[in-house]
Structures are given as structure tokens and as C-alpha cells.
């Protein structure tokens, strides 16, 4: 801003800085929207869309059977593909729809663009390649259903869906191999069903080469549960992340920075009959699961933060307040590195360990009721190294317990570890089958350090 001041024939130009507009602290800032896509674009507006677009919408929904306009938008894309942009608002769907080959379905954000399925349905990918979903939410009776390869899902949230289907996000291998699927920043929140599931039927039915990054499964089955499409099951097993349900095999699956919380059964789960290879969980957390027991009053089958089976590698993973922190069942050639349990009933529960063994490195427990509990079955090659087992108050329970049902206590080796706040330090109740090997283990605050163990010098 400028104005002129005249002084005795001399004109002086004075500049005044513009007054910044007043910012109302109570005004919600405009949400950040995804960048406008390059290439061919077809725009679909909801009945209530209010956001202006660079171009007028190609389709405008009326709030009834909105999946028809969305499907028509995909048909309007050129053969080489492109992006269907859903604007803000709620799209009311009564059936599934299928994104096209080489296409993207993009909303304005999970809170801004919502697909409300009034009947059981899904954003369904039965065929095609190179399909991408991003930046929208799904509610009602909806899900994301993937039965093809080469799919990317980013910033998609499924929330408040009912129990008309088993999963919020499903990869389903029916007589085929599903591969190269990625999930980034996806969430299943307050869903009356399971969160993220791998399953299938026929032969082959294999899922491989999939990655989950920064995904969350919150309160899966906590408020209501999936009992089958026809409610034919008498019990529910809703979990957060199901690595392998009804599959021949799952291979090269990674979970990075993922979180499960408040689920009915377990946070991370895998069925033991499925061949698992190269399953990695890195920097994952799982807390307050086993709601089946905590609020439902039913006995849990697992209630685990992490169910660990064969061929799995966990690093920097944390369990908190679960029935079992790390439920290691039918494990063979599996590793837990720098993993922590805090406050669970059992921290590291072990049973039926294969010949290639279970190996814990630099793992810890804090105020866990029974930190390490070896329950039953073969225990041929179990190594616990650099463990830190700690309770703030002295507990009349062992830091490491080997149950009388364990078949091979002499196959268990504990070394270079510290146990504090538990009495005794290590107890072996299967002494008639052999003694647990112990080397360089310090026990603090216990009257009995080792019971039925073989203390050796290395």
C-alpha cells in the first residue's frame, strides 16, 4: 500500500506494509489434498461435492447406486488407462465395482471422500494389472478386495464396517498366485470383522511379495465380530493382520512400522498349517489385544500380540498388555531380535519348536507376569541370548519357566542374560527329560537362581 504526502512542493511517497488478514484460531485449516494427477483424468462428483476442480466433473452422482457412475468413469478412460478422481463427499454404493486395468482410483483423503456401501460390496480387483487406490475411506458394508497382482493401496481407511464380510482388506488367491501388492498408510478402524487378511482356495492359492508400511488395525472385532456370512460359526476369531489363513503358502511378506491394537483375538496372526517363508515384521507394535477375554469373558485361543510361526523374522517389535506377547507356535528357523514385551500375562510363549529352532537375540520383558514360558512339545533348538528380563517388584514366578510337558529341555540354551525381580530365575519342571543349559546369566533378587539347570562355563 502507498500514499503520497506533499510537503511544500515536495512529493514524498510513503509505503505502508499491508495488514495481514486476521486469522481466526477456531477455524479448522483446509485439509491437505493429494496433488492433481497427470495424464488422462475422469472426475466424479458426489451429491454433496463442494470443492472446485480444475475442470468440471464428468459424472455427478445422485446419492443412489453411485457405483454406477464410478464404473462408468473407468469405462470412459482411454485404453492406456488413467485416473478416476472422486471429489469430496459421500458416495452411496449398493454393489461392488471394479477399477480398470492400468488405472488409479483417487479421492481427496480418507476423511474427505467416503464410499458408504449400503449393501455388502467392495472396491474389487478381480483382474487387471497396475491398479492403484488412494486417499479415500470406506464404511457401511464395504471392503477392499484384491484377487489380482500388481496392486498399490495408499492412504485408504476402512472404518465402522459391519460383520457382513470377514475382512476390511482382503487379498484372495483363488486358483492362482497373487503377488506384488503394497499397502501404505492404510487403516482398519473400529471394524466388526478382521483387518488385513491373506486367504484363498483351490490350487495354487499362494500370496507372495507383498509389503505393508505404516498400516494400522485398530479394534478389529472389538465391538462386534464376524461369525460367517450366514452367522454359521459359534465362535469368532477376529484379528488385526492375518498373514496367512487358508493358503498353500505365503512368501516374502513384510510388515514395516505397522500397529495392531484392541483386536478381539490377536494383533498379528498366521495359521500353522500354511507354509511360511521369509515373513518379516520390522518395528511393529501390538497392544491390548485379546478383547475376547478382556471384555467378552471368553477364553482366547491365542490372544497374542504376535503369533510367530515358521520362517518368520521379527526385529524391534513391541507387545504390550496382551495375553501372550509373542506366541511362538510350530516355529522352525524363526528369529526374534530386539523385541520387547511389556505387561502381558506371558511374554514369550513357546511350544512345538522344529529342528531349525527358535532364536531370541537381545529381547526383553518389563513387568510381564511370566516373561518366558516354554510350554509343550519338541524344544530341540531354542536359544535365548542377551535377554533382559525385569520386574519393578519381586514376583513369585520364574523369569524363565520350562513346563513339565516340554520334551527337550536340554535343547534350550540361555546365555549372556540378566533376570531381575523374579524368584526363581530359571525353573525346569521337565528335569526327567534333561536340563536347561545356562551360561553367564545373572539373577538379581532371587533366593534360587536356577532349578534343574546345567550351568556351564564358556
Question: Is 10's pLDDT higher than 70?
Answer: no
Beta bridge partners of 420: 390, 444
Question: Is 267's pLDDT higher than 60?
Answer: yes
**303 C-beta neighbours (distance < 10 Å), count:** 25
Helix, strand or coil, per DSSP, at residue 172: strand
Instruction: Select from 217, 118, 70 the least CA-distant residue to 158.
Output: 217
Q: Please compute the mean of the pLDDT values over residues 203-230 and round it to a whole number.
A: 96
Each residue's pLDDT tens digit, 19-29: 444 445 555 56
User: Which band of pLDDT confidence, cut at 50, 70 and 90, is reported for residue 221?
Assistant: very high
Each residue's pLDDT tens digit, 233-242: 989 999 999 9
By percentage, how much of the chain surpasses pLDDT 90?
87
User: Which band of pLDDT confidence, cut at 50, 70 and 90, is reported for residue 6?
Assistant: very low
By percentage, how much of the chain surpasses pLDDT 70?
93
Q: Please compute the mean of the pLDDT values over residues 164-188 and round it to a whole number.
A: 98
User: Which band of pLDDT confidence, cut at 50, 70 and 90, is reported for residue 67?
Assistant: very high
Mean of per-residue pLDDT scores for the chain:
93
Supply the DSSP string of 329-389, one letter for each residue: EEE-SEEEES-EEES-SEEEEEEEE-TT-EEEES-EEES-SEEEEEEEE-BSSEEEES-EE
Question: Is 449's pLDDT higher than 50?
Answer: yes
Q: Are 379 and 409 in contact (CB under 8 A)?
A: yes
Only one residue has cell 531381575, namely 420
pLDDT for the residue 26: 59
The widest CA-to-CA distance across the chain, in whole angstroms, is 114
DSSP state of 314: E
Instruction: Select from 284, 304, 285 the least CA-distant residue to 351.
Output: 304
Instruction: Select from 429, 427, 426 the least CA-distant residue to 417.
Output: 426
pLDDT for the residue 19: 43
Each residue's pLDDT tens digit, 362-394: 999 999 999 999 999 999 899 999 999 999 999
Q: Which of 24-28, 232-236, 248-252, 431-435 has the lowest mean pLDDT?
A: 24-28
pLDDT for the residue 33: 83
Beta bridge partners of 366: 342, 390
Structural Rg of the chain based on CA atoms: 28
pLDDT for the residue 217: 98
pTM: 0.92
pLDDT for the residue 29: 63
**14 C-beta neighbours (distance < 10 Å), count:** 9
Q: Cell digits for 323?
A: 495375553
Each residue's pLDDT tens digit, 83-116: 999 999 999 999 999 999 999 999 999 999 999 9
Compute the half-sphere exposure of residue 73: CA atoms within 13 Å on the CB side of its CA.
Answer: 29
User: Which band of pLDDT confidence, cut at 50, 70 and 90, is reported for residue 31?
Assistant: low
Question: Is 58's pLDDT higher than 80?
Answer: yes
User: Which band of pLDDT confidence, cut at 50, 70 and 90, is reported for residue 331?
Assistant: very high
In sequence order, the 6+-apart residues with CB closer than 8 A to the CB of 49 are 57, 60, 87, 88, 89
Question: Is 152's pLDDT higher than 90?
Answer: yes
| Peptide linkage before 128 cis (omega within 30 of 0) | no
Amino acid at each position: 500500500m502507498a500514499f503520497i504526502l506533499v510537503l511544500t512542493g515536495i512529493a514524498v511517497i510513503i509505503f505502508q506494509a499491508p495488514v495481514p488478514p486476521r486469522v481466526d484460531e477456531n477455524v479448522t485449516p483446509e485439509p491437505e489434498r493429494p496433488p492433481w494427477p497427470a495424464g488422462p483424468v475422469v472426475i466424479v462428483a458426489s451429491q454433496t461435492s463442494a470443492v472446485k476442480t480444475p475442470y468440471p466433473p464428468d459424472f455427478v452422482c445422485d446419492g443412489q447406486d453411485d457405483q454406477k457412475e464410478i464404473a462408468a468413469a473407468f469405462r470412459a478412460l482411454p485404453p492406456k488407462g488413467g485416473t478416476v478422481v472422486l471429489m469430496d463427499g459421500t458416495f452411496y454404493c449398493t454393489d461392488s465395482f471394479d477399477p480398470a486395468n492400468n488405472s488409479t482410483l483417487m479421492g481427496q483423503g480418507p476423511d474427505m471422500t467416503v464410499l458408504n456401501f449400503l449393501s455388502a460390496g467392495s472396491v474389487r480387483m478381480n483382474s487387471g494389472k497396475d491398479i492403484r487406490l488412494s486417499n479415500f475411506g470406506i464404511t457401511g458394508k464395504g471392503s477392499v478386495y484384491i484377487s489380482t497382482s500388481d496392486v498399490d493401496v495408499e492412504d485408504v481407511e476402512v472404518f465402522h464396517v459391519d460383520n457382513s464380510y470377514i475382512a476390511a482388506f482382503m487379498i484372495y488367491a483363488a486358483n492362482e498366485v497373487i503377488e506384488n501388492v503394497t499397502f501404505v498408510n492404510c487403516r482398519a478402524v473400529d471394524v466388526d470383522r478382521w483387518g488385513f487378511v491373506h486367504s484363498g482356495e483351490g490350487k495354487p492359492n499362494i500370496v507372495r511379495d507383498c509389503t505393508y508400511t505404516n498400516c494400522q488395525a485398530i479394534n478389529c472385532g472389538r465391538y462386534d465380530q464376524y461369525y460367517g456370512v450366514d452367522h454359521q460359526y459359534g465362535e469368532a476369531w477376529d484379528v488385526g493382520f492375518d498373514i496367512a489363513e487358508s493358503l498353500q503358502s505365503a512368501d516374502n511378506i513384510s510388515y514395516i512400522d505397522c500397529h495392531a491394537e484392541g483386536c478381539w483375538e490377536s494383533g498379528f496372526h498366521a495359521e500353522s498349517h500354511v507354509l511360511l517363508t521369509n515373513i518379516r515384521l520390522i518395528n511393529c507394535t501390538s497392544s491390548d489385544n485379546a478383547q475376547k477375554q478382556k471384555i467378552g469373558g471368553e477364553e482366547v485361543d491365542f490372544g497374542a500380540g504376535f503369533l510367530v510361526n515358521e520362517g518368520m523374522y521379527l526385529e524391534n517389535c513391541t507387545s504390550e498388555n496382551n495375553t501372550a506377547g509373542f506366541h511362538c507356535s510350530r516355529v522352525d528357523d524363526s528369529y526374534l531380535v530386539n523385541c520387547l514385551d511389556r505387561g502381558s500375562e506371558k511374554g514369550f510363549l513357546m511350544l512345538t519348536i522344529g529342528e531349525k529352532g527358535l532364536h531370541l537375540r537381545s529381547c526383553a520383558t518389563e513387568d510381564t507376569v511370566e516373561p518366558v514360558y516354554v510350554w509343550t512339545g519338541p524344544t530341540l533348538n531354542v536359544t535365548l541370548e542377551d535377554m533382559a528380563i525385569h520386574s519393578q517388584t519381586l514376583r513369585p514366578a520364574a523369569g524363565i519357566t520350562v513346563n513339565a510337558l516340554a520334551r527337550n529341555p536340554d535343547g534350550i540354551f540361555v546365555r549372556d542374560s540378566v533376570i531381575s525381580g523374579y524368584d526363581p530365575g530359571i525353573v525346569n519342571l521337565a528335569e526327567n527329560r534333561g536340563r536347561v543349559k545356562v551360561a553367564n546369566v545373572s539373577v538379581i533378587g532371587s533366593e534360587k537362581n536356577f532349578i534343574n539347570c546345567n550351568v556351564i562355563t564358556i
